[in-house]
Amino acid sequence: MATVPYQVPPEYTDNPNATDPANPFTVTPVANVITIPSGQVAADVTITAAGTPEYTLANPTDLVEGFRYVVRITVGHADAIGSTLAFGNAWVAQAAGATNLSTFDASANGDVNIIEGVCIGQKIYYTILNVSAD
C-alpha cells in the first residue's frame, strides 16, 4: 500500500490578501475598521492612530460553522493608548461568568489583545486575552 503525503490546504499557505510576506495574517485597519480578509480565520493587527479612536472589528464576510477565529491586536504606538474596540453583530461575548472573559485593553504602548472565538450558528462566540506591556 502506497503512503500518500499529507498536503496542507492552500488557504493555510497561500494568501492573496497578505500584505506582509513575513506575516501573511497582517491586516491594516481601514478607516479604523479591522476586517479579516475573505478566506482567513486569523488576523494580526497593530493600531497606531492618534486621538484615542474607536476601532471596529467587522464581521467576517464568509463565516464557516465550527471554525475558530483569532485576531491579535497590538497597541503599536503611544498615540493609540486609550483606543476602544467595538464589535460587529456576529461577534458575541462569552457569558459574563466565563473565567477568561476580559475587555479590550489599550492602556499602554505594547499591550496585546488576543480575541479568540468559535463560529456557531453564524455567530462568533469570543473571549479576550490581554497581555500587558508592563
Are the C-beta atoms of residues 77 and 48 closer than 8 Å to each other? yes
HEC per residue, 80-129: HCCCEEEECCCEEECCCCCCCCCCCCCCCCCCEEEEEEEEECCEEEEEEE
> In whole angstroms, how far apart are CA 77 and each of 10, 21, 51, 108, 114?
34, 22, 11, 9, 17
Q: Say what the pLDDT of residue 38 is.
A: 87
> What is the spatial distance between Cα 12 and Cα 124, in angstroms, rounded to a whole number?
20
pTM of the model: 0.77
Are the C-beta atoms of residues 113 and 103 closer than 8 Å to each other? no
Q: Where along the chain do its domains lie?
A: 43-131
One digit per residue, the tens of pLDDT, for the chain of length 134 reads 555 554 544 554 555 444 445 566 888 888 999 999 888 899 999 998 887 789 999 999 889 999 999 999 999 988 898 999 999 999 998 865 555 456 888 888 999 999 999 999 999 999 998 888 76
Q: Say what the pLDDT of residue 133 is.
A: 77
